[in-house]
Structure formats: C-alpha cells, structure tokens
Chain A
Amino acid sequence: QLQLQESGPGLVKPSETLSLTCTVSGGSISSSSYYWGWIRQPPGKGPEWIGTVHYSGTTYYNPSLKSRLTISVDTSKGQFSVKLSSVTAADTAVFYCARLYVPGYFDYWGQGTLVTVSS
C-alpha cells in the first residue's frame, strides 16, 4: 500500500523559507504515470494546489505562488520537496503531499503537517 509522509518544521518565521519533504513508501516515485504534488489548506478553508513534480524533474507551479516556489525530487531517496520563500502569516496552513494521476486526480495523500508562520 502506497504511503506518503510529510516532514519538516512546524514553525517558520515571517520572511523566511518554508521547507517540507514528502517520503514515498510502498511504491516507486519513479513511475511515469504519476506526478507528485503539494497541496495546502489554510485553517477553515478549502485546499489550494501548490505545485507538482515528475520523477524526471519536470515541475508545474501554481501561478500565484510561482515566484516564491521551488519543488524538487530525489528519486534515490524516494522523496520530493517544497520550498516556499518569503513566507507571511497568510502561508499558515496544513500542507499535504499527494500522488497525482495526470491530468486527473490526487489518489493518495499524506496525513498532512501544520506549518505556522509566526515570529
């Protein structure tokens, strides 16, 4: 059974860079059929797609976040990561990693990790 697990700091200071990693287990991150995505959900709000990466390194970003965003993949470790720079309180959210069957749907999700932006 495929499992995804987010990891990273739960507290980030304003103006700093948020960094999270997703570890994929029970399956290969190097499948050509799937992409790997980050989604965030601010408290009490709906999810927002952040960006997506393929094992080849191809990335797709939400245009509203693109200038602050970097998503990368490390196939040797079965991991993919997100970096969001210059964070503000508005970036406080539960961050999920998920598998994306392109172009359609997110079928496996991590449990999510809350990242709070505060000094």
Chain B
Amino acid sequence: QSALTQPASVSGSPGQSITISCTGSSSDVGGHNLVSWYQQHPGKAPKLMIFEDTKRPSGISNRFSGSKSGNTASLTISGLQAEDEADYYCCSYAGSTTWVFGGGTKLTVL
C-alpha cells in the first residue's frame, strides 16, 4: 500500500486557478470513485473539501472542484484567496477495506 503521489508545492496569485494532482493506481484512485480531498491549515485538523471524486460537502465553496482521469485525481481551486493557503491531501479507498493518503501539497498564495 503506497502513498498517493502529489506535487510537493503549488502556488498562484489571488484570483487565479490552480490544480493539484493526485496519482495512484488501478487499485486505488483508478479503481473506485472514492477519492476525497482535505485542506489542512497549520496546527489544525484536516477538513473535508471533496468526496467521491467530485462532490462537495455542504458549506464548501464552489471554487473547489474535483475531477479524475484514469489513475489521477485532481483538485482545482478557482478564484484563489489568501485563506486558501494551506496543505492539501488526497485520500482514496484502496480496496479490501483499506485507505491510502497522499503525501500532501503545500499551496502558497502569492
């Protein structure tokens, strides 16, 4: 069970859009429609932003969207705001009642 692969960092200016990728395998990301994304500010618990590849929980801004192609899932944040600066993690069901997280991506808003 290997961690999902995410870029270490991404950056963007306020108002721009950024995309964070999350690459796994056919056993996890590509095999199930069960990728979730979490936002984590320093010293805080992760917060669910996207579930089941593309769905947003109640209360999450529509500036956050999820997509998937093959074994790679993506989180897109449009209209970047200063408060979006955080670490982002993907997570996928990996079969056999196991779950695997990504290594995380640090988003910097310039």
Report which A residues bind B (CB closer than 8 A). 37, 39, 45-49, 52, 60, 62-64, 96, 100-107, 109-112
Residues of A within 8 Å of B46, CB to CB, are 47, 96, 106, 109
Residues of A within 8 Å of B48, CB to CB, are 105-107
Residues of B within 8 Å of A110, CB to CB, are 45
In whole angstroms, what is the CA distance A105 to B104 when docked?
A: 17
Q: How many residues of B contact A (CB 8 A)?
A: 26
Give residues of chain B (71-110) contacting chain A, Cβ–Cβ below 8 Å: 89, 91, 93, 97-104
Residues of B within 8 Å of A105, CB to CB, are 34, 36, 48, 51-52, 91
Q: Which 7 A-B pairs have the closest CB atoms?
A: A105-B36, A105-B51, A109-B45, A60-B97, A46-B103, A46-B104, A49-B99
Residues of B within 8 Å of A64, CB to CB, are 1
Residues of A within 8 Å of B101, CB to CB, are 39, 46-49
Whether B18 is near chain A, meaning CB under 8 Å from some CB there, is no
The answer to whether B36 touches A104, judged by C-beta atoms less than 8 angstroms apart, is yes
The answer to whether B34 touches A63, judged by C-beta atoms less than 8 angstroms apart, is no
Residues of B within 8 Å of A109, CB to CB, are 45-47
A64 nearest CB neighbor, chain B only: B1
The answer to whether A46 touches B89, judged by C-beta atoms less than 8 angstroms apart, is yes
Known: A60-B98, A104-B34. A46 touches B3 (CB 8 A): yes
Known: A105-B34, A109-B46. A63 touches B1 (CB 8 A): yes
The answer to whether A104 touches B45, judged by C-beta atoms less than 8 angstroms apart, is no
The answer to whether B52 touches A104, judged by C-beta atoms less than 8 angstroms apart, is yes
Residues of A within 8 Å of B100, CB to CB, are 49
Known: A45-B103, A46-B104, A96-B45. A62 touches B36 (CB 8 A): no
Task: Produce 1/0 per residue, B21-54, CB < 8 A to A.
Answer: 0000000000010101010000011111001100
A6 nearest CB neighbor, chain B only: B45
In whole angstroms, what is the CA distance A2 to B98 when docked?
A: 24
Central interface residue in B36, B45, B48, B101, by most chain A CB within 10 Å: B45
Residues of B within 8 Å of A102, CB to CB, are 97
In whole angstroms, what is the CA distance A52 to B99 when docked?
A: 10
